[in-house]
Every structure is written in C-alpha cells, then in structure tokens.
Structure 1
C-alpha cells in the first residue's frame, strides 16, 4: 500500500458528498485532479471503493469502511499538528462559525487578519439560510453566528459589527430621472423575493406591508446571489442589502432607486449562546473582534458608509 494523505482526504470527501463534482468544490480542486487521485487510491485495492449506476456515484460497503478509516487517520494527523503547535504555545483547534448567505460579504473581513496571525487555528464556516444558522446555534455546533435578525428561541449575547442597509434596486429606473418610486409604481413592477424564512425577505415584506404597498408580478429565489443576477438581467426589482452590490453599483449594472422610507437599516451582529463555554480560540477571536472591528470597518467598508 502506498496511498497518500491527500488521496485519503479526497476519498473521504467524495464519500461524504457522493459526488466528484461536489468534492472538487469542497476541496477547491479541479474535477480531473479529484478523479486522478481517486483512481490512484482505487488501484491499490482489488475491491471497488465506488460504483456508478446511471449517472449516480455510490460508495460500496468496502468503500464506506475505508472512508471511516480515512477519517480516523486524518484526525490523528491533525492531532499531531495541534499538539506540536500547542507545545510551542500557539492557539490550536478549530473556530466554527455559521452565517446567513448575505453575511458572506461581511464575515471574511473580520476573520482574515485573525487567521493569518494564528496558523494553528482552522476555520469551519457554514454559509446557509437563517434556519440553518439557528439550528447550528441551538445544537451548540458552532462558536459564533453572524445574523441581521436576532433569534427569539433562546438567549444570545452579541457584538454589533456594522449596519446592514437595504435599498430598492433594479437594472434601470422605472420612473423618470430625479423622481422617487411611488406606491402606485410598485403595482406595475415585477418583484423578486428571497425564500420564506430569509431575514431579507422578512425586512422587505414588513416594509411593503407597513407602507401599504402592493407589488406586481412576484417571483422567489433561494439565494442572494441568484436574486442579484436576476435583477441585473432585468427580470425584476428587489429590496436588497447593498453590502454585496459594490461592484454592480460602481459599474452601473444595478442602481439604487429612491423610495420614501428606504433604506431599511438593521445591524450585522456576531452572536453566541449566552450559556456558551468558550474555547481558548473562541475567547481570543471575541477579544480580537471587539478590539479591531472599528479599524476593519474603516479600512474595508469606507465605501459602504457613503450610502
């Protein structure tokens, strides 16, 4: 046997995702690279690790056993790495964070310098919807979460990072230049919503209801990025957080449309369970955020304060 740790890591990921395509995305490798390493590992066994039926990849019983052994080996190797760094007095372990999809435009900037300063710290960041974030917190599966709406199901503590501002945006204005979009204009506009349960959708619906506004044709998309591309293509209009629209606003593919009562202003909050017992890594990260957040906002989000 002459398999490598990389081959075991790739096979473990393929076994978890049941897909070479998905495994390549998780590992940030090309599909051919994953396929080649998978074949090299398979060549060392007389019993198949996988089988393809139709277009679906399945892991054989033997393959599942190898995947379990691979996970144990990789965990032991990681343990060696952690112990060696711990002996040198470094922080070691994993920082676990769950964020809602629009927070992907915010959270990395509050992580990069911390991760660079602590080489022994690994990052596990799950980008999901609001329900997924709440579930991760409730199950104590993460150290922190980044949300714009605080959960009501349990007690949390928080650090407010920065404002979250939502505007009506479109690829072109439905009214003459200089005019605001009025209540009667909304009824003629095709409107694109996020899925039910999304904090962005909730803010949008609350605004429309409070303003007594009815919209025209309604569409629903389940990710902020898909919604943005639909608006750019002229499929409709939406009320969106502008934190993820910097390039589109600069190049003119999207524009903010003036509406009475907008923007909606909420806050991005780093939250954690009030009863959470922090690891040394989580404690160090919280101290870092409290100390550096104003500097990060000034350096990375100065454009955002102009809106």
Structure 2
C-alpha cells in the first residue's frame, strides 16, 4: 500500500457525499483531479470501493469498511496536529457547524474574527436544507447549527444572533402580473416558493394564509439561490430574506415592494443540543459569540437600517 493523505482526504469526501462533483466542490479541486486521485487510491485494492448504479455513485460494502478506517486514520492525523498546537499554548481542534442555506450569508461574519484569533482551529461548515441541519444536530454530528426556526422535538440551547427580515421582492420586468403588487392583487401574481419544510416557505405561507390570499399561480424551487434567479428572470414575486439579496437590490435588478405586514421578522439562532458537552474549541466559540455578537451586527449588518422596518 502506498496511498497518500491527499488520497485519503479525497476518498473521505467522495464517500461522505457519494458524489465526485460535490467532493470536488468541497475540496476546491476540479472533478478530473478528484477522479484521478480516487482511481489511484482504488488501484491499490483488488476489490472495488465504489459502484455506479443509475448514474449515481455508491460505496460497496468493502468501500464502506475502508471509509470507516480512513475516517479513523484522518482523525488521528488531525489529533497529532492539534496536540502539537496545544503544546504550544494555542487553541486547536475542529469546529463543526451545520447551516441552513440562507444562513450562509450570515454565519461567515460571526466566524471570521474567531478564526483569525485562533489559527489552530479547523472549521467544517456544512450548508444544507433545514431537515438535514436538524438531523445533524440530533445525531450529534456538529457542535452548532444555525436555524431561524427552532426544532420543537429537540431539547436545545440557543444564542439569538440577529434578526432575519423577509420582504416581498420582484424584478422590474415581471412577466404577465401586476407591476405594483398589493394585498388586493397579490392573488393574481405568480408567486415563487421554497420547498416544503423550508423556514422561508413557512413564513411566506403564514403571511398569505393570515391575509386569506389564494395563490393562483405557484412555482416551487429547492434553494434560495434558485428562487433569487427565478425572481431576477421575471418569473414572479417571492418573499425572501433581505440578507441574501442585498447586491441585486442595490443594482436595481430586484425591487422591494412595501406591504402591510412586511417585513416578516424571525431570528437567526445559533443552536446546540442541551446535553452537548462542549469541546474547548466549541466552548471558546460560544463565549466569543456572546461577547462579540452586538459588535458584529453593528459593523457588518448596519445596512439593514436602510429598509423599512414596518409598514402600517
């Protein structure tokens, strides 16, 4: 056997994602580079590690066992690195965070200062849908989760980070709908929703239900970015978190439409299982957030104040 740490890391990511494409994205490598290293790793074993069924990649039973061993080996390598830093008096270890898709516009600003203070900390941040975030939390796969709606079935502790404001937005060139949406004509406008289970979807549906607005034309998409692109293309209107559309509003490609009952206000919550035993890194991060969150909000998100806080 003559495999390298790089090959082990690549096989680990491929096995976790069951996808060369997703592994390459997380590793910031090209797909051909990942494929070549995966093949080089496979060539050292007489039994297949993966198989493709219906154009989807799966681990074989042997591959699953190798994946467990690879995970153990890499954890030992990381532990060696952390111990070296700890003996030098530095905070070291992994910080694992699972973030709902719209949270990717928030969480990095609460991490950058901490990571600068502690270069020995390795960050693992997974951006995914709400159900996967809650699953990671429940399975103790992460230290923290960032959500706007707390899971009712779990006993969790939380730190409120900042408010999340959702507005009705549309392109100046919406196709075949009211150019100035109001509560009276919103039922005639095509509306673009996130998928079922999304906190943004729930907030939008509650707004419409409370005002007894029946949707005549509904479009459903599975990511915040997909919704944004559809709205930009003029396919319809949507109620979206302001945090993810700042730049396209500034350029005029999207317009905020003031309306009574908007913005919808929720909170971004840094959440963890109440029974969680913090590592030194997780403990340090929670203390950092408590001490610095107001300063981060004032310096990074003051632009929120440019938009109406309520419509009477």
**How far did 1:243 drift?**
0.5
Q: Please name the residue that 1:12 is paired with.
A: 12
**How far did 1:115 drift?**
1.5
Q: 1:224–1:39: structure 2 CA closer, same or farther, 3 Å change rule?
A: same
* DSSP-derived class of the 2:152 partner: coil
**How far did 1:53 drift?**
6.6
Q: 1:97–1:262: structure 2 CA closer, same or farther, 3 Å change rule?
A: same
Equivalent residues of 1:186, 1:216 under 8 A apart: no
**How far did 1:16 drift?**
3.6
**How far did 1:235 drift?**
1.3
Cα RMSD over matched residues? 2.4
1:163 aligns with 2:163: yes
* DSSP-derived class of the 2:114 partner: helix
CA distance in 2, matches of 1:129, 1:268: 15
Q: Please name the residue that 1:90 is paired with.
A: 90
**What is the correspondence of 1:74-153 to structure 2 with a 5 Å cutoff?**
74-153=74-153
**What is the correspondence of 1:246-285 to structure 2 with a 5 Å cutoff?**
246-285=246-285
Q: Please name the residue that 1:30 is paired with.
A: 30
Equivalent residues of 1:181, 1:258 under 8 A apart: no
Q: 1:160–1:6: structure 2 CA closer, same or farther, 3 Å change rule?
A: same
CA distance in 2, matches of 1:160, 1:19: 35
TM-score normalised to the size of structure 1? 0.89
Q: Please name the residue that 1:186 is paired with.
A: 186
TM-score normalised to the size of structure 2? 0.87
Task: Specify every segment of 5 or more residues in structure 2 that has no aligned partner in the other structure, as ranges.
Answer: 308-312
Equivalent residues of 2:82, 2:93 under 8 A apart: yes
* DSSP-derived class of the 2:290 partner: helix
Equivalent residues of 1:50, 1:57 under 8 A apart: yes
Q: 1:247–1:148: structure 2 CA closer, same or farther, 3 Å change rule?
A: same
- Per-residue CA deviation, residues 117-142 of structure 1 (Å, 9 max, x unaligned), is 21222222222222223333333332
**How far did 1:57 drift?**
4.5
Equivalent residues of 1:190, 1:236 under 8 A apart: yes
Q: 1:163–1:79: structure 2 CA closer, same or farther, 3 Å change rule?
A: same
Task: Specify every segment of 5 or more residues in structure 1 that has no aligned partner in the other structure, as ranges.
Answer: none
1:241 aligns with 2:241: yes
Equivalent residues of 1:133, 1:145 under 8 A apart: yes
Q: 1:50–1:276: structure 2 CA closer, same or farther, 3 Å change rule?
A: closer
**How far did 1:189 drift?**
0.4
**What is the correspondence of 1:216-231 to structure 2 with a 5 Å cutoff?**
216-231=216-231
Instruction: Name whichever of 285-294 and 88-97 sits farther off.
Output: 88-97
Q: Please name the residue that 1:195 is paired with.
A: 195
Equivalent residues of 2:166, 2:262 under 8 A apart: yes
**How far did 1:298 drift?**
2.0
CA distance in 2, matches of 1:17, 1:154: 26
Instruction: Name whichever of 112-121 and 37-46 sits farther off.
Output: 37-46
- Per-residue CA deviation, residues 51-100 of structure 1 (Å, 9 max, x unaligned), is 55774545556555544443332222112111111212222222222222
Equivalent residues of 1:18, 1:58 under 8 A apart: yes
1:73 aligns with 2:46: no
Equivalent residues of 1:137, 1:273 under 8 A apart: yes
CA distance in 2, matches of 1:205, 1:92: 44
- Per-residue CA deviation, residues 193-222 of structure 1 (Å, 9 max, x unaligned), is 112221111111111111222222012112
- Per-residue CA deviation, residues 8-67 of structure 1 (Å, 9 max, x unaligned), is 221233334333223212222101211232333345556655555774545556555544
